[in-house]
Structure 1
């Protein structure tokens, strides 16, 4: 499984993919180094330090491996976050990388170096070199994460509006965040926001964009109103396309469920009596074998009712399985 896809995620427009291909290649390389290669390398440094600790010992103290485990856990947490949630928010790459590599230093490299110096004083030079490599790796990871974000977003282009990346525009005390479902802004420490569903149209004024909604208009200061307007319109169009596609997928799943439910048939057999029912429990067929001709009518009626109940129970179980399976697929 590829940690970071070669193509920009959540994009189906070939023109957008082509326009951002070169930018994404640079960003992907920098992000792989910042959030993948260097954190793993720091974890390996801690593993080597733990190995040096046991070099002069008959039995390796169990607690000497704690820094290596902590550093490896931090690297794994960063990679997992990046794969699941982090790719769509470039502005979180630097804080997340700084947090995790800093934790690797505090929990792994520094304690591991201290333990190695204490238990293996003869390897002091190598331990110091590894410690310096760990610190350098953490600093380099943070710098590369910052460069990755700048490489992708430093010069906004209109095609970024058709991606899932969170876009941030700043102008003095104003910070505008174009998300995947809404626009939020902060001016003089006062925040506000509006969902895309409420925006009727977007216009520009001097040094600002104007959001027209059914309940009024909002004026948002931005450094480049024309670019901000184009980005926002592109993002709203992208959001509408995804919303319509999601609604179409849900409609198809519903129709598939209705079709499958219509095909449900519960069946039960007992003592020569066979009963079938549909998904609503309505009897659709009764079959009697020749053996039941001599049965007492009351006994035959009892068998018939028992078969109907068992067939309805079978149909309910099938309906329940179909509905639960549909709900599980919809949640994914």
Structure 2
């Protein structure tokens, strides 16, 4: 099983993949070390400390294993979060790594060292060395997580506009965040001001001295930036990427809708009773009635009763099939 994907998530453009391949290789290596190898190593330190508590003890106290379990759980939670949700937000790598490795220290290394020193005083030097290794591992994990973020985003290039990574552009008195569907900025000159504009409102982007201008239907916003040309290029690239994703999403929804219509048209409810078989379509309209030779001996009233019962049962069957298809369609839409 691959800890982290070899390809950058949510990118299908070969040119973008090629342009960012070297960055992603460095970033992926640093992430594996910071969120995988070092947290696991800290967990192993806690396991060794737990094993040292049993030295000279006839029965290992069950509570001495709690720090090791807590440290292992933190390592598993960090890597699981990174694989599921964290890869798309590089700005969360450092806080998440610091939080989880800090929790490993507080819940695992320090209590485990204290327990080992109390139950195995003869191994004090080894316990202190393991404790220092755990602290060093936690600090190194945070440092590597910071390097991973900087390796990927520290020097923005145009191709980053075609990714789902939030782009943060720091200026002297401003901070601009280009997200996946909006741009937000903070200015500090003359008092703090936080403003944001959704991509759907932006008509075009232009530049002026030390700023980019976002033109919307309701007016223009001037955003002070350190490098207007780079910011404009990244914004235009991200806007194009956002529009392409919107068009692709609409096309997927159209195909799913057409598939649903086709499946609904093929729905057929059927029921049989007393030699009478009735079929109906997805609207409950009767499409066929079949009578077996057994109905010759039935009274007309009984035959009519069987017929109506079959119609009701067939319609219920058709409604159930329609409901299942609609719910399946809704679940597929929600997952995307």
TM-score range relative to shorter protein: over 0.9
**Aligned-residue CA RMSD (Å):** 1.0
Q: Distance in 1 between matches of 2:187 and 2:65?
A: 49
Residue 207 of structure 2 is matched in structure 1 by 204
1:39-188 paired onto structure 2 within 5 Å: 39-188=39-188
Q: Is the aligned partner of 1:320 residue 2:312?
A: no
For residue 156 of structure 1, report the CA deviation from its aligned partner: 0.8
1:259-274 paired onto structure 2 within 5 Å: 259-274=262-277
User: Under a length normalisation based on structure 1, what TM-score does the superposition of the two structures give?
Assistant: 0.98
Q: Deviations over 1:86-135 (max 9, x none)?
A: 11111111111111111111111011101000001111111111001001
For residue 77 of structure 1, report the CA deviation from its aligned partner: 1.3
For residue 292 of structure 1, report the CA deviation from its aligned partner: 1.3
SS state at 1:228 partner: helix
Q: Distance in 2 between matches of 1:278 and 1:145?
A: 59
User: Under a length normalisation based on structure 2, what TM-score does the superposition of the two structures give?
Assistant: 0.97
Q: Distance in 2 between matches of 1:35 and 1:294?
A: 78
**225-234 vs 322-331, greater mean Cα deviation:** 322-331
Q: Distance in 2 between matches of 1:44 and 1:190?
A: 47
Could you list the runs of 5+ residues in structure 1 that have no partner in the other structure?
none
SS state at 2:85 partner: helix
Could you list the runs of 5+ residues in structure 2 that have no partner in the other structure?
none
Q: Distance in 2 between matches of 1:93 and 1:194?
A: 26
Q: Deviations over 1:55-106 (max 9, x none)?
A: 2211111111111111111111111111111111111111111111111111
SS state at 1:304 partner: helix
Q: Distance in 2 between matches of 1:73 and 1:104?
A: 9
Q: Deviations over 1:40-67 (max 9, x none)?
A: 1101111111111112211111111111
Q: Distance in 2 between matches of 1:320 and 1:59?
A: 60
Q: Distance in 1 between matches of 2:228 and 2:66?
A: 53
For residue 243 of structure 1, report the CA deviation from its aligned partner: 1.2
Residue 213 of structure 1 is matched in structure 2 by 216
